[in-house]
């Protein structure tokens, strides 16, 4: 307080609710400061009323009771959404191990089949008595039946018949 009256800062503090016992006593006793405080409080009350009226006139405006009900409904929807998401996450987490086990089992079976095929090929090659390129020498009469791709020279059948005479 300067000069016995409230300053503009003191008035603002009064309106904001910061009131000391000395300031309250002064506002009650000083008619000039009391009138100024009352005028400012009235202006703020009218402003608040006009804001509420303007809000109510807006499309989709609701009363404070409706706001509380709407907030409660939104809160309930949020709770339901959280539980739904938690349930979905639980289902996904429960489905991962069986899916992974089935996938691992399928991969292992495919690898075992590939290993079996390779072993059959190795066994076929190892169990041969002679290499593929020397097979025609084991059975000279079968030369004409042996494929040309194996590297053997095919003799025409007409020449063979002439040699046999």
Evaluate whether residue 147 is within a structural domain. Answer: no
Evaluate whether residue 53 is within a structural domain. Answer: yes
Dihedral-angle region of residue 4 (phi above 0 means left; psi in -120 to 50 means alpha; beta otherwise): left
Q: What is the pLDDT along the chain (165 residues), one digit of tens a residue?
A: 555 788 888 888 888 888 888 888 888 888 888 898 899 889 889 988 888 888 777 777 666 677 677 778 888 888 999 999 999 999 998 888 888 889 999 999 999 999 999 999 988 888 877 777 777 777 766 555 555 555 555 555 544 444 544
Same domain for 94 and 53: no
In angstroms, rounded to a whole number, what is the distance separating the alpha carbons of residues 153 and 87? 74
Same domain for 2 and 53: yes
The length of the chain in residues reads 165
Tell me what pLDDT residue 17 has: 85
Q: Which domain holds residue 15?
A: 1-63
In angstroms, rounded to a whole number, what is the distance separating the alpha carbons of residues 63 and 53? 11
In which element (H, E) is residue 130 found?
none
Same domain for 100 and 42: no
In angstroms, rounded to a whole number, what is the distance separating the alpha carbons of residues 116 and 122? 10
Is the Cα torsion angle 42, 47, 50, 55 positive or negative in sign? negative
Number of structural domains found in the chain: 2
Evaluate whether residue 84 is within a structural domain. Answer: no
Tell me what pLDDT residue 20 has: 84
């Amino acid at each position: 307080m300067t000069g016995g009256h409230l300053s503009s800062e003191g008035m603002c503090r009064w309106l904001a609710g910061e009131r000391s016992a000395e300031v309250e006593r002064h506002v009650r006793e000083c008619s000039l400061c009391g009138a100024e405080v009352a005028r400012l409080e009235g202006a703020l009350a009218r402003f608040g009323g006009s804001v509420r009226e303007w809000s109510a006139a807006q499309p989709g405006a609701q009363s404070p009771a409706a706001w509380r009900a709407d907030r409660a409904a939104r809160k309930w929807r949020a709770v339901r959404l959280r539980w739904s998401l938690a349930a979905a996450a639980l289902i996904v987490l429960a489905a991962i191990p069986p899916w992974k086990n089935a996938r691992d089992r399928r991969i292992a079976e495919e690898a075992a089949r590939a290993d079996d095929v390779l072993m059959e090929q190795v066994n076929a090659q190892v169990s041969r008595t002679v290499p593929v390129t020397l097979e025609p020498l084991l059975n000279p009469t079968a030369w004409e039946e042996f494929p040309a791709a194996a590297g053997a020279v095919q003799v025409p059948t007409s020449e063979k018949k002439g040699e046999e005479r």
